[in-house]
Amino acid sequence: MRRALFAAAALPLALSAQAQEVRLPITLDEMVVTATGRPEPRSSLAGTVQIIDQETIRRSTAQNMTDLLAENAVGFFSEWTPGQTSINIRGGSTDGQGRDFRSQVLVLVNGRRAGTANLSKLSPAEVERIEIIRGPASVVYGSQAIGGVINLIMRDGRSSPGGFGEIGFGSWGLAEGRFRYGTSFRDSEAPNTSGGYNVRAGDLYAGFSGGRRDNYRAGNGGPSLDGTQWNRLGGAFAAGVETRIGRIGTSIRTDGTYDTGFLGSAWNTSNLEERTNTSADLFLDGATADGRFRWNLQGYAVRDVDNLRWRSPIQRSSAGLPVPGTDHDDNRRVLDIFGTRLQPSMRLWKGADLLVGLDLERSVLRSTRNRVSLPGGPTGQVAPMDNNQTDMNAGLYTELSQVLFDDRVTVRAGVRQTWGNTAFDPTPNLPLQRTGSADYDATTWSAGASYRPVPSVALRFNAATGYRAPTATELAADFTALGGGRTFGNPNLKPETNLQYEVGAALFRPGFRADLALFQNTISDRIITRTRRNDSTTSDYANNAGDVLVRGLELQLEADLARFFGISSVNWRATANGSWNFDMRDDGASSTANTRNVERMYRYQAALTTTVGQPRWDVTLQGILRGPVYYNTEENLLIPQGEPFRDYVHRKGAFWVFNLRGSFQPLPETAPNVRVYGAINNLLDKNYHALFIATASQPFIGDARFSNGGLGNSAPGREFIGGLRFTF
């Protein structure tokens, strides 16, 4: 029934396709909003901001946000399943299950907390552009913004006017469709005699997307991987009107995956997941006629749901032997968030701009769990993997920027004070739960400057701090993991904190932009789980005994090569994004560990893209370098064939993945708005995975005694995609 629903969702789009591309200029001073919470020129910022624009999103055939960001070398993405991933940016990481409340990388939707750090459950369909802050941004955004901030800026009637439709088909039963329409209108400005506000202009937007895919096949002649299928459905609506006090708008959106497989580290082919994210926003943006005073007020509600229908027929005992497990282990986690943000700003004197902000937020987490054991398996019910909690926090912050020396220097500094309380609410199947609550507070700051010695060069420096408060689970947990291990909370946990320094430079010439950043990020008291001595199945939450220290270089390049070489017959553009973490040290690693390198983080990575085209056609070749990554895997590997001992930290070597994309306008005279597109992902059919050690290949290095239906994890092999786009 659900398959029929997704097919029906895509069918009406069969007559849709897109018009010829719009050639976007390369510009240094595009306006960005993520770094400071208000639009500012990119060259005046003291930190590094990476932007993925609408043209990059259009050319991609990414099926979720994880794929899109990985194509642009934003950071490390674990890519556990089609519906689940974790992130690492500058040493700040997210939980493998994408728990928003345990993240060190903050994901935003239109400038407010998304409610999830699992980008695989989110689609690019309704995203107009993405802004990524590299490094802490806790002054403006509060808790969790330690490694970075990813802000998804959604489409509305102003940014996406007109109609657009797309339908695509591809390998392994892939079928996708999306449709959107945006419009703006303007009324006369006749006096309003009723005493209300005169409506000068307004805009409307509606979008819908859906898709599905069956199990994919691994590369290099690998097998079909059961448990890798997915279905996706989402939609959005936005409206706004211009009034005397500014633009009043609202947006409603939903996104998610359904009946999605989850192989995981146990190679389990029968797990199914439903992960959804729904939100509603109401906002007001306005300014005085002279621009001296500006105001932004935003209220939001978010519901993030993870419905995990798991099973673990075979588990590992404390003696390392296979034992009967569970036939069902269903977990449902619901996070509800209600918040408001007030951000007035004012020009104090010439060149001085003051931002003041007040954030108020209440979040409620509720989890349930139902476990059905196999004969001889574990008995009784156990607590969910996340304790129920209610978190209330308030943040008061300010940032002052001063422009000096004929707009060549911008100096800025900010500070935030956050107060919060986390209540440990009654949790199912946890009779000995430690109830009550814990208060927390944190002071974070940032300071920096940018300098333009000549119009084509911008230099910058900044220092900033961040934090993350412990959750109720980390403070008072007592839960049993899917594979049978047990984890306990620690009421003495400290908040996670960090301190980052960065220097950077940007060079801008006609048709060329380059940005280079050198940073050091130190994360203290990272909250981890530590296995008890002489009991490998029992763990406790603890603060890392030493700091996590990451030093690295990051590079962004964009060039109009046709202009550079004086070619007028075709458009030819190239982009490059890359990073090299030359020092990524975990000083709290166990003394018995075989490495102190930070786990789940690339030593280096890069994304190189070149596009050649004319108004009727374009071809894009993309190379993605996945660098070395360190990982103490949860997989049950053979010893010594797979690993020398159980707690061995593996080093996965570097490799390249290539993608080829293109589009063509076949009937410019009779159907000028129709465009055909196609793509070949993983062009060389490589058998790879970003994280897992035991890929689906021979010889199999996993311990087949613990296999729950599968034999390894691999990313999709060579994939063919084709379709139509239409604008009107």
Per-residue confidence at 235, pLDDT binned at 50, 70, 90?
Answer: very high
Q: How many CB atoms lie within 10 A of CB 387?
A: 28
Torsion 29-582-520-358 (CA) sign: positive
Residue 20, pLDDT above cutoff 80: no
pLDDT in tens, 662-674: 999 999 888 889 9
pLDDT for 189: 54
Percent of the chain with pLDDT over 90: 73
DSSP 145-176: TTSEEEEEEE--TTTS-EEEEEEEEEGGGEEE
The size of the chain, in residues, is 728
pLDDT of residue 645: 93
Distance between CA 554 and CA 577 in Å, rounded?
Answer: 8
Q: DSSP states of 565-612 as a string?
A: TT--SSEEEEEEEEEEEEEEEETTS-TT-S--BPSS-BSEEEEEEEEE
Model confidence band, residue 15 (pLDDT cutoffs 50, 70, 90): very low
- Per-residue pLDDT at 604 exceeds 80: yes
Phi, psi of 649 (to 5 degrees): -95, 115
Per the CB < 8 A criterion, the answer to whether 213 and 61 are in contact is no
Q: Which amino acid is at 178?
A: R
Residue 132: count other Cβ atoms within 10 Å of its Cβ: 20
What's the CA gap between 302 and 330, in Å, rounded?
Answer: 23
Of the CA atoms within 13 Å of residue 551, those in its CB half-sphere come to 3
3-state secondary structure of 293: strand
Residue-level pLDDT at 190 = 47
Side-chain half-sphere exposure of 402, counting CA atoms within 13 A = 8
8 A C-beta contact, residue 442 and residue 418: yes
Domains in the chain: ranges and CATH:
2-727 (2.40.170.20)
Q: Which stretch of 99-113, 119-133, 197-211, 216-230 has the lowest confidence by average pLDDT? A: 197-211
Single-letter amino acid, residue 151: N
Q: Has residue 209 got a pLDDT over 80? A: yes
Closest by CA to 691, choosing from 719, 642, 651, 723, is 651
- Residue 25 — very low, low, confident or very high, per pLDDT cuts 50/70/90? low
3-state secondary structure (DSSP) of residue 350: coil
Distance CA 236, CA 252 (A): 6
Q: Which residue has the tokens 């920096």?
A: 448
Distance CA 550, CA 547 (A): 10
Lowest mean per-residue pLDDT among 159-163, 228-232, 426-430, 483-487: 483-487
Q: Which candidate, 112, 116, 86, places its Cα nearest to that of 333?
A: 116
d(CA 161, CA 145): 33
pLDDT band at 14 (very low <50, low <70, confident <90, very high): very low
Confidence category of residue 23, pLDDT binned at 50, 70, 90: very low
52 to each of 12, 105, 198, 701, how far by Cα in Å?
29, 17, 36, 38
Q: Which residue is it, tokens 């946890």? A: 430
Q: Which two tokens stand for residue 376?
A: 């001889």
* C-alpha span between 118 and 224 (Å, rounded): 25
Q: What is the separation, in whole angstroms, between the first and last Cα of the chain?
A: 32
Q: Is the pLDDT of residue 21 over 50?
A: no
Is residue 217 a contact partner of residue 225, using CB atoms and an 8 Å limit? yes
Confidence label for 17 from pLDDT (cuts 50, 70 and 90): very low
Nearest to 715 by CA among 682, 667, 674, 669: 682
The three-point CA angle 155-663-67 to 5° equals 55
Lowest mean pLDDT among 70-74, 484-488, 521-525: 484-488
Q: Quickly state the pLDDT bin for 31 (edges 50, 70, 90).
A: confident
3-state secondary structure of 179: strand
138: left (phi over 0), alpha (psi -120 to 50) or beta: alpha
CA–CA dist 395, 108 (Å, integer):
17
Token pair in block for residue 353? 């701009």
Taking residues 296-317, report their average pLDDT.
Answer: 94
Peptide bond into 426 cis (omega under 30): no
Tokens of 2: 């659900």
Q: Among 138-142, 461-465, 687-691, where is mean pLDDT lowest?
A: 138-142
Nearest to 128 by CA among 103, 158, 172: 158
Q: Environment class of residue 443 by beta-carbon count within 10 Å: exposed (0-12), middle (13-18) or buried (19+)?
A: exposed
Torsion of CA 425, 430, 433, 438, to 10 degrees: -30
Of 328, 317, 217, 211, nearest to 270 (Cα)? 328
Q: What confidence tens digit (pLDDT) does each residue in 513-552 have?
A: 999 999 999 999 999 888 887 777 888 999 998 999 999 9
pLDDT at 513: 92
Q: Is-contact 642 702, C-beta < 8 A? A: yes
Indicate the SS3 state at residue 472: helix
Query: Percent of the chain scored above 70 by pLDDT?
Result: 94
How far apart are the C-alpha atoms of 691 and 408, rounded to whole Å?
Answer: 45
Q: Return mean pLDDT, the chain.
A: 90
DSSP 645: S
Residue 9: pLDDT band with limits 50, 70, 90: very low
Stretch 506-510: mean pLDDT: 89
In the predicted structure, residue 644 carries a pLDDT above the cut 80: yes
Higher pLDDT, 493 or 21: 493
User: Which residues, 6 or more positions from 120, have their beta carbon under 8 angstroms from its beta carbon?
Assistant: 64, 65, 66, 79, 81, 82, 83, 84, 85, 98, 257, 275
* 3-state secondary structure at position 725: strand
Q: Are 151 and 130 a contacting pair, CB within 8 Å?
A: yes
Per-position b or e across 548-565, b if 16+ CB within 10 A of its CB: bbbbbebebbbbbbbbee
pLDDT at 434 over 90: no
Going by pLDDT thresholds of 50, 70 and 90, the confidence category of residue 2 is: very low
pLDDT band of residue 26 (cuts 50, 70, 90) is low
What one-character-per-residue DSSP string does 7-76 give?
A: HHHHGGGGG----PPP-PPP-S--EE-TTTSS-EEGGG-SSEEEEE-HHHHHH---SSHHHHHHHTT-SE
Which has the higher per-residue pLDDT, 483 or 428? Answer: 428
Query: Whose CA is closest to 577, among 535, 540, 609, 548?
Result: 609
Q: DSSP string covering 604-640, please?
A: EEEEEEEEEEETTEEEEEEEEEE--EEE---S-B-TT
Residue type, 271: N
Four-CA torsion 30, 32, 36, 40, nearest 10 degrees: 30
Which position has the token pair 């995990």? 308
Report which DSSP code applies to 193. T
Residue among 119, 120, 99 nearest 468 (CA): 99
SS3 of residue 647 by DSSP: coil
